[in-house]
Amino acid sequence: MRVLVVEDEPRMAALLRQGLEEDAYAVDVVSNGLEVLEWVQSAAYDLILLDIMLPGMGGFEVCQTLRRQGYMMPILMLTARDTLTDKVLGLDSGADDYLVKPFAVEEVTARLRALSRRSGPSKTPELVVGDLRLNTATKQATRGGVTIPLSAKEYALLETLMRHPHQILSREQIIEKVWDMDFSSESKLIEVYVHALRKKIDDGHEVKLLQTVRGLGYRISDHA
Ligand code: CA
């Protein structure tokens, strides 16, 4: 899952980036409201965290503009003022939820999980392929009932693949969901992570689930 954080206060932005990355999101941060309209064109964001008081273009207007342009990803607004007017304006401009500062980062990630469940194709937090199960609420993976410990990036990679079972995802499609703007699409890191993840989920099992499709990409499937 990839999140765009729109926040002009450096400390708050850094805090959000760190908290979200620890929770396995790929995170890009912009500080100017006007930049948002360009960034959403360059990557498929699953969620947007949007501050209201921003240079360039304010959060309400950014939100309205995105909705007018047809962008439907969930938007969580961050407001410094706990006033009814702000909440009403936020929801009226097309936001899905709002959070009043100050807040704990855990609160943000909990809200984002709820929002992505609401908008996703599947309402249940569990993704299943064969005997491999991934609970997106607890971030726990099991195969044949045995827990598989995953790092944040391994989790993000597995979640991306399991959201499209049996479907081949290209390197570019995977990178777009798992890594941020600073990641080079030429990087060999994706192979390193696939290798590590494959060891964890397929070693000792007859059916190999994480499949490399030469020249095309990767998929999770229990079909050969
Ligand atoms: Ca601000």
What is the SS3 assignment for 106?
helix
How far from chain centre, in Å, is Cα 42?
Answer: 15
Q: How many angstroms separate the CA atoms of 224 and 208, rounded?
A: 8
Compute the distance from residue 52 Cα to the ligand 1 centre, in Å: 6
Compute the distance from residue 59 Cα to the ligand 1 centre, in Å: 9
Q: For residue 70, what pLDDT is reported?
A: 86
Q: What does the pLDDT look like over 44-82, one tens digit per residue? A: 899 999 999 999 999 999 999 999 888 889 999 998 877
Compute the distance from residue 78 Cα to the ligand 1 centre, in Å: 9
Q: Say if residue 125 is preceded by a cis peptide, omega within 30 of 0.
A: no
- Is 2-119's fold the same as 126-220's? no
Q: How many angstroms separate the CA atoms of 212 and 214, rounded?
A: 6
Q: For residue 31, what pLDDT is reported?
A: 96
Compute the distance from residue 117 Cα to the ligand 1 centre, in Å: 27
Compute the distance from residue 51 Cα to the ligand 1 centre, in Å: 6
Q: For residue 119, what pLDDT is reported?
A: 64
Give the CA distances from residue 148 to residues 118, 139, 143, 203, in Å, rounded to whole numbers and listed in that order.
27, 10, 7, 11
How far from chain centre, in Å, is Cα 127?
Answer: 15
Question: Is residue 96 within 8 Å of 117, Cβ to Cβ?
Answer: no
Q: Containing H/E element for 134?
A: strand 132-135
Q: How many other β-carbons are positioned within 10 Å of the β-carbon of residue 201?
A: 22
Compute the distance from residue 23 Cα to the ligand 1 centre, in Å: 23
Compute the distance from residue 11 Cα to the ligand 1 centre, in Å: 11
Phi/psi for 91 (5° steps) reads -70, -35
Compute the distance from residue 221 Cα to the ligand 1 centre, in Å: 44
Q: For residue 42, what pLDDT is reported?
A: 86
Q: Which residue ranges make up each domain of the chain? A: 2-119, 126-220
CATH architecture under which domain 126-220 falls: Orthogonal Bundle (1.10)
Give the CATH superfamily of 2-119. Answer: Response regulator (3.40.50.2300)
- In this prediction, the residues of the chain whose per-residue pLDDT falls under 70 are 119-124
